[in-house]
Chains A and B, each alone.
Chain A
Amino acid sequence: MTDQTNPKKNTTNHREGLIMSTTTASKLRTALTAIAASVAMVAGMAACGPNAATPSEAAASGDTTATSAAKARSLDEIKQSGELRVAVFSDKAPFGYVDKDGNYAGYDVVFADRLAKDLGVKALYTSVDPAARVDVLTSNKVDVTLANFTVTEERAAKVDFSKPYMKVSLGIVSPEDAPINDVKELEGKKLIVAKGTTAETYFEENYPQIELLKFDQYADAYNALLDGRGAAMSTDNTEVLAWAKANPGYVVNVTELGDVDVIAAAVQKGNTELLDYIDGQIVTLGKEDFFHKDFEETLAPVYGDEVDPDDIVVEGGVVDSQ
Chain B
Amino acid sequence: MQGAEILLELGVFPRLLQGLWVTVWIAAVSVGLSIPVGLVAGWLMTVRNPVVRAVMRVYLDFIRIMPQLALLFIAYYGLARAWNWNVDATGACVLVFVLWGGAELGDLVRGALLSIPQVQAETAYMLGMTSWQSFSRVILPQTLRRLLPASVNLATRIVKTTSLAVLLGVVEVIKVGQQIIDANRFQYPTGTLWVYGVIFLMYFIVCWPLSLAARALEKRWAND
Contact = CB atoms under 8 A, between A and B. Distances in A.
Interface string B4-32: 00000111000100100000000000000
A35 B69 contact: yes
B133 interface: no
B12 to A, nearest CB: 8
Nearest to A68: B81
A33 B10 CA distance: 40
A71 interface: yes
Contact of A38 (B69, B179, B181): B69
Interface SS of B by simple majority: helix
A66 interface: yes
Contact of A35 (B11, B70, B168, B185): B70
Determine the interface band of chain B, counting residues with CB < 8 A from chain A: 35 or more
Interface stretch (B72-80, B97-105, B206-214): B72-80
Interface stretch (B40-48, B82-90, B124-132): B82-90
Contacts of A35: 67, 69-70, 73
Contacts of B67: 35
B82 A27 contact: yes
Contact of A139 (B11, B69, B80): B80
Interface string A76-103: 0000000000010011110001111110
Contacts of B69: 34-35, 38
B77 A242 contact: no
B178 A31 contact: no
B80 A91 contact: no
B186 interface: yes
A91 B171 contact: no
Nearest to B170: A127
B169 A136 contact: yes
Given A34-B70, A91-B179, A23 B171 contact: no
Given A34-B73, A93-B182, A102 B80 contact: no
B216 interface: no
B58 interface: no
Given A70-B80, A136-B169, A30 B86 contact: no
Given A38-B69, A127-B175, A30 B81 contact: yes
B183 A100 contact: yes
Given A34-B74, A66-B81, A102-B15, A242 B186 contact: yes
B144 interface: no
Given A70-B80, A98-B179, 6 more contacts: A30-B73, A30-B74, A35-B67, A91-B178, A101-B11, A246-B186
